[in-house]
Amino acid sequence: MLTAVACTAAVPAAADAASPAPFAGFDLSEYLGTWHQLAAVPQAFNLVCARDTQARYSLSPRGAVTVRNSCTTWTGQKNRIKGTATVLDTKTDARLHVSFPGIPNPDRGRANYIVTAVGPDYSWAHVTDSRRGSGFVLSRTPSLSSKQWSAVRRAIARAGNDDCLYLTSPTTGGFEQIRRLCD
């Protein structure tokens, strides 16, 4: 989710390497719309989310990317936040800086949302930040096939992230339990 970029978790050793490569041929217009979070590297700001975490990306009338994240909390309430994403690399459009009002952002001016892989027809996506301290598996649907999950794990590895840091995100119609992605 784009909210993942608002805080930075403990950074794995791979973060010392160059920033993850953005997905070649990324099409921002195809990426717009609704995504379900199926797995993520835990971040302090989204611990309130128990299930059904989603992100909706759209273009504002001025051409900025609007981010609307939502989830169901542990008490069954809806949690929502609205932010903006700025494309930092117009060559690929896959390196962005995302911010949310009232949430500290130590990555000011740096790519904190890098789309490193997308599935066919933009059915799934992997996102991380320039330090690999966050990571998200997003899908247009609440679940993925085993073949798609294999592709996601390969994408996570290619980005220099560790799939054992990712926890599945309970989603109606998908995973109901939280578990490590590598299990």
> Can you give the pLDDT of all 183 residues of the chain as single tens digits?
443 333 333 333 343 458 899 999 999 999 999 999 999 999 887 899 999 999 999 998 888 899 999 999 999 999 999 999 999 988 999 999 998 888 777 667 788 999 999 999 999 999 999 999 999 999 999 999 999 999 999 999 999 999 999 999 999 999 999 999 998
Give me the domain span that covers residue 39: 2-6+16-168
Q: What per-residue confidence (pLDDT) applies to 14?
A: 40
Residue 181 lies in a domain: no
Angle at 76 between CA 73 and CA 77, to 5 degrees: 70
Residue 183 lies in a domain: no
Residue 63 lies in a domain: yes
The token pair at 105 is: 């952002």
Q: How far apart are CA 11 and CA 26, in angstroms?
A: 26
Residue 179 lies in a domain: no
Q: What is the CA 113 to chain-centroid distance, rounded?
A: 7
Q: What per-residue confidence (pLDDT) applies to 17?
A: 55
143 and 171 Cβ atoms separated by less than 8 Å: yes
46 and 79 Cβ atoms separated by less than 8 Å: no
The enclosing domain of 82 has a CATH number of: 2.40.128.20
Q: How far apart are CA 53 and CA 46, in angstroms?
A: 9
- The domain tally of the chain equals 1
The token pair at 54 is: 């989603």
Threshold 0.85, pTM exceeds: yes
Residue 94 lies in a domain: yes
Residue 109 lies in a domain: yes
Q: How far apart are CA 53 and CA 43, in angstroms?
A: 13
Residue 121 lies in a domain: yes
Q: How far apart are CA 120 and CA 113, in angstroms?
A: 20
Amino acid at site 45: F
1 and 97 Cβ atoms separated by less than 8 Å: no
Residue 120 lies in a domain: yes
